[in-house]
Amino acid sequence: MKRYWDRLWQSSLVRFGLVGVLNTVVGTTIMFVLYNKLHCTYWQSSFANYFFGSILSFFLNKYFTFRSKKRSWGEVVRFVINIAVCYLLAYGISKPLMLHLLSGQSQQFRENVAMLFGMVLFVALNYIGQRFFTFRKENS
């Protein structure tokens, strides 16, 4: 059993999930408070979520999840590119899709659901991007 646990803990996907839980709590709180309480727009609220969450995510994923020891601006640039692409894809797909699928509901409801669905898409795209692009292991 210990062997199984050790192998599971070594998985970057498990560590990514733990970091994701923390990022989700921080980012979701920011996003929904901005949208529902401060009446910021869909794009402002979701952007703030990923702007602040991404700063936390970079350091946690670099050192904890993917255990990267590199000190390069290349990782920072790849991280920013990955986050931007994942954000634009996830939220660009989510909003029109949910506005269409939930057309009988209020604008606020549809956009709240779109932000939730965007988060799910973002997580999947972001793991792939960070694992294989941002913090990829160089072949010796």
Q: Distance between CA atoms of 54 and 76, rounded to whole angstroms?
A: 11
For residue 94, give Cα distances in angstroms to 28, 51, 76, 89, 100: 16, 18, 26, 8, 10
Q: pTM for this structure?
A: 0.74
Buried b or exposed e, range 94-124, using 16+ CB within 10 angstroms: bbebbeeebeeeeeeebbbbbbebbbebbbe
Q: Kindly report, residue by residue over 103-120, the tens digit of the pLDDT.
A: 999 999 999 999 999 999
Please tell me the predicted confidence (pLDDT) of residue 6.
63
DSSP string, the chain: -HHHHHHHHT-HHHHHHHHHHHHHHHHHHHHHIIIIIS---HHHHHHHHHHHHHHHHHHHIIIIIS------HHHHHHHHHHHHHHHHHHHHHHHHHHHHHTTTS-HHHHHHHHHHHHHHHHHHHHHHHIIIIITPPPP-
Q: Kindly report, residue by residue over 64-79, the tens digit of the pLDDT.
A: 888 888 888 988 999 9
Please tell me the predicted confidence (pLDDT) of residue 113.
96
Please tell me the predicted confidence (pLDDT) of residue 140.
42
